[in-house]
Amino acid sequence: MSRPYGRALVGNWAEEASLREEKVKEFLQRKEAGELEVDKAQRVISNSTRRVKLQGHGDGVLHFGDVVQIAQVSTGFVLSALPPPPMTADAITECTAADGDNTPSLRNAFRIVPAGRGVAEDDESPVLYGDSRFYLVQAAGEEPLAMHTERLGLGGAGAARRNPKHQRVLFKPKGSPWVVQHPDPEFRVEHEGQPVTLDNEVLVVSATTNVPLACTDKRFRSDFGLVEHEVTCHNYITPRKVPGPEIRWLVRAGAED
């Protein structure tokens, strides 16, 4: 075994001591520069909770360009995006419904962006039941993400993480289009083509798969310290053949500036 004798260093003891010193020095330098993974994670979380102001037109109707929150009716849980893990290169993150702080922020406030052909991005016309296709995009940030889903495929492709029979819902750089439908099947055709009214129950349905957005009972605790519910696309129907509470949402917008 290598040991120091007086002032003489035997074996590789000196090299090992020098290596330890270099590792400590590198750690302190990375900590001072904010390059540790814990620092990166804290910055991501802080940025995700940055406050955002809701925006609307003040007429009780949902418009393209509005900044909104979408809350599950029976629980009040707000549609949210988890911050992407700082260790990953892909800017993709889970869609959840948060049970806790509902203050409008980067993670739970979204802009209604038109997705129809021939519709300008700065269009501010009313969103129509069943007709208007839109993207749900994070309201702020350098590279805002958009909500996305896709059909279930072979081998579990497109499946939700905690509900493998449901369609996965994510936030990605390029999202998929959505539409708003009236929740009551008896009145759905009657409302089609009419402006969507705020603070009334609606279904948010994938225009790609025709399956509604759902807040599931699968819970987990996130890095925010909040209880989060997995959000998927799934058609919950009650025994009375009407949409269940899991797929009923309220859209809230701010007052006109």
Q: What does the pLDDT look like over 147-176, one tens digit per residue?
A: 999 999 877 888 998 999 999 999 999 999
User: What is the pLDDT averaged over residues 204-215?
Assistant: 97
In this predicted structure, the answer to whether residue 121 has a pLDDT above a threshold of 80 is no
Query: Percent of the chain beyond pLDDT 70?
Result: 75
Q: Which residues contact 34 (CB under 8 A, 6 or more apart)?
A: 40, 43
In this predicted structure, the answer to whether residue 12 has a pLDDT above a threshold of 90 is no
**Do residues 81 and 108 lie in contact, with contact meaning Cβ atoms separated by under 8 Å?**
yes
- Give the CA distances from residue 136 to residues 25, 184, 185, 244, in Å, rounded to whole numbers and listed in that order: 46, 23, 24, 23
What's the pTM value of the predicted model, to 2 decimals? 0.80
In this predicted structure, the answer to whether residue 180 has a pLDDT above a threshold of 70 is yes
Label residues 98-133 b or e (16+ Cβ within 10 Å = b): bbeeeebbbbbbbbbbbbeeeeeeeeeebbbbbebb
**What confidence tens digit (pLDDT) does each residue in 45-66 have?**
666 678 899 999 999 999 999 9
The C-alpha atoms of residue 212 and residue 208 are separated, in whole angstroms, by 11
